[in-house]
Amino acid sequence: MQSQQKCIAVFALVCCFAILVALIFSAVDVWGDEEDGVTEENCSKNCRIVLVENIPGELSFNSNSTTHLSLTLGLNQLLDKAKLSVEIVSPEWALTSSDQGSRLYPAYQGQFLFQRLISLKSRGVRLKIASDQPNSTELKGLTDRYAEVRYVNMTAFTRGRLLSSFWVVDRKHIYIGSGGMSWKALSKLKELGVIVYDCSCLAMDLHRIFALYWQLQYRDYIPSIWSKRVTAVFSKDEPLELKLNNTDAYAYVSTSPELFCPKGRSRDIDAIRHLIREARRFVYISVTDYLPLVNRSLRGSAIIRYWSPVDEMLREAAVLRKVKVRLLISLWANTHPLTFNFMTSMQALCTGLPGCSVEVRFYRGKEQTEGINENKFMVTDKAVYIGNLDWVGSEFAFNAGAGLVIQESQSQPQDGQNSIVEQMTAVFERDWFSPYTISLQAGKNIVQESQNTWQKVQALKTKPESRESY
């Protein structure tokens, strides 16, 4: 009798266990891709890094400043190297355009890159694209001709956008930067990124971010349990130790929004805060927009909150540690009016404090849509962060982006080459001291003037009507 009861109890327990196991396995529903043979132990860490830039035609920096590989050339060279696969995420697809461009801003580089992407077919190289634009005609064209395109419904996840902008080639080489797949990024806009060659360790990790997007097709929720193949390999706390052009360095990739950070993945915002905290001499930031606000729309009405994570770190660095802070922001059609207020307050912080320095300048392209500085990077005396998002609270909260962090180890480069940190510092200083920057006050005056002009124009327009009404 008793043994029968025992039997039933054991049977029930086994059943429970089986159901539990089944439940756990069915809950894991973001599977990653196959990882072809390369593991954390035997991936390659002996890498080469190259800075790539697009400098719009009309800009001329002083002749002493170093020029870097052009973005167009860099991307084409990556395609030359591709043997197995090219994985691309880009906020927009507009390489081919009815716009013929002009002498200063030619459109043909975009068309050429588009043709090269299609021609991957003849070489048997897979072309995989993740995008949040289901209606893009260019992506339809690519799908028809060869590419595998998967759609990520950002509306369902955060109502944000997929603004990530990177390439992974053969799970070995990567590109990450501000320039996406638009002919303007190869011609009209000022862009900056890096290409890292022969770096399967870093590529493996960036590929996992891509694999996550790839797996999100047709989904409208993020599962609570993730496959190991999309979790982070390296992070803020456990960075990859590697060699970049024979210099020892640490690196990892970070991502946004928080919802897209599986176990161990560092958030962009944590990476940025960490680098500012570690800086000893200077923090230079070059971004299109900087605004410490989060703007949520809830049932039709906008709820706006102050967003402090970056602001507070900068203030602490400047006031308490005397780290020199410089912010280079773009002045363009969409510059938010509150930018002036927040930046004025930031600059005023050092009033009467010896050794404290916070400076803000505006970078101004030739016109409001041309030559805009799209750069999204930070460089400190020890590290660089190259990201995809502008430094606006709402961007980090709702939009998907990725970032690459490179920290120098103590030893200095041996072969007399400038390290990537030094190169990026030089790029920042070139822009900062160029004729295309103006002070905060000058920027404010320009905007006020144009508003006044606009009001005058409006007044002129309404005058005849008012006369009629006499």
Which residues contribute to the site for ligand NAG (CB under 6 A)? 37-39, 42, 48-50, 62, 64, 134-135, 153, 155-156, 220, 245, 293, 295, 297, 302, 304, 336, 417-420, 423
Nearer to ligand NAG, 39 or 60 (CB): 39
Nearer to ligand NAG, 318 or 423 (CB): 423
- What is the Cα–Cα distance from 272 to 261, expressed in whole angstroms? 15
Least Å from the CB of residue 43 to ligand NAG: 8
Helices (H), 240-358: 268-278, 309-321, 338-348
The token pair at 453 is: 């002009």
Residue with the two structure tokens 């355009």 = 97
Least Å from the CB of residue 126 to ligand NAG: 19
The token pair at 180 is: 């996406």
Paired residues of 402 in beta bridges? 255
Neighbours of 199 (CB within 10 A): 27
Nearer to ligand NAG, 62 or 411 (CB): 62
Q: What type of residue sits at position 441?
A: Q
Nearer to ligand NAG, 49 or 107 (CB): 49
Residue 384 CB-density burial (10 A; 0-12 exposed, 13-18 middle, 19+ buried): buried
Least Å from the CB of residue 413 to ligand NAG: 8
Least Å from the CB of residue 270 to ligand NAG: 24
Residue 387 CB-density burial (10 A; 0-12 exposed, 13-18 middle, 19+ buried): buried
- What is the Cα–Cα distance from 25 to 7, expressed in whole angstroms? 27
Nearer to ligand NAG, 350 or 399 (CB): 399
Least Å from the CB of residue 468 to ligand NAG: 34
State the Cα torsion 62-63-67-72 to the nearest 10°.
Answer: 80
- What is the Cα–Cα distance from 137 to 165, expressed in whole angstroms? 19
Least Å from the CB of residue 92 to ligand NAG: 12
Least Å from the CB of residue 140 to ligand NAG: 11
Nearer to ligand NAG, 109 or 419 (CB): 419
Which residue from 230, 294, 312 is spatially nearest to 263, judged by alpha carbons?
230
Nearer to ligand NAG, 245 or 357 (CB): 245
Nearer to ligand NAG, 2 or 64 (CB): 64
Least Å from the CB of residue 424 to ligand NAG: 9
State the Cα torsion 257-258-261-266 to the nearest 10°.
Answer: 100
Nearer to ligand NAG, 172 or 361 (CB): 172
By three-state DSSP, how is residue 49 classified? strand
Q: What is the 8-class DSSP label of residue 178?
A: S
Buried b (16+ CB within 10 A) or exposed e, 68-77: bebbbebbee
Least Å from the CB of residue 9 to ligand NAG: 43
The token pair at 87 is: 């994985």
